Amino acid sequence: DWKIVQHEIIFQGYFRMEKYSLQHEKFGGGWTETFQREIFERGSAVAVIPYDPVRDKVVLIEQFRAGGITTLERPWMKEIVAGIIEPGEEQQEVARRETLEESGCKILQLEKIAQYYVSPGGTTEQCAVYCGRVDSTGVGGVFGLDHEFEDILVEAVDLTQAKVWLNDGSLNSSATIIALQWLLLNRDRLRQEWV
């Protein structure tokens, strides 16, 4: 069992930080002392790896990521499409909307890959990851919404090239790594079912 002793919002801006005073039962019996944890509240997300089984290509995006400014020489990351779930939205709606907004691709079919906690030690955020069948013919260019400060470079990449980037560490976003590893394991099946 566990309990919240105290809860407060300590910051509200683009994101929200909440502070909890907690206790929980211990495996060996008894309860912990009251301890504090700050929790990053961001909302949950949906990520999609757009895959064209006919051309054997994935659609990847590249954009500036503030989280990389202190550790990356160049904080632009190659990733898969992703977006936050707005109130009242279903995961598959978000998958279709974000794929169109960020890459210009229309999803023809979706298969769920996984749903996971991004970093459960400090945030409630979960990410649902999907593979979306697309036609990558003519895909490319710059996409995104100006009012969300998105400047997204889009390219259709041979799956073999994406695998090279996965193996050499060029792809360093968790949802991208999870989705690409899953796709490499399921590629043959999808090429039979989706073509």
Catalytic residues: 148
In angstroms, the CA 65 to CA 29 distance is 44
Strand partners, 60: 155
Token reading at 28:
């060996």
**Helices 159-168 + 174-193 axis angle, to 10:** 150
Measured CA angle at 99 (ends 79, 129), to 5 deg:
60
DSSP state of 123: B
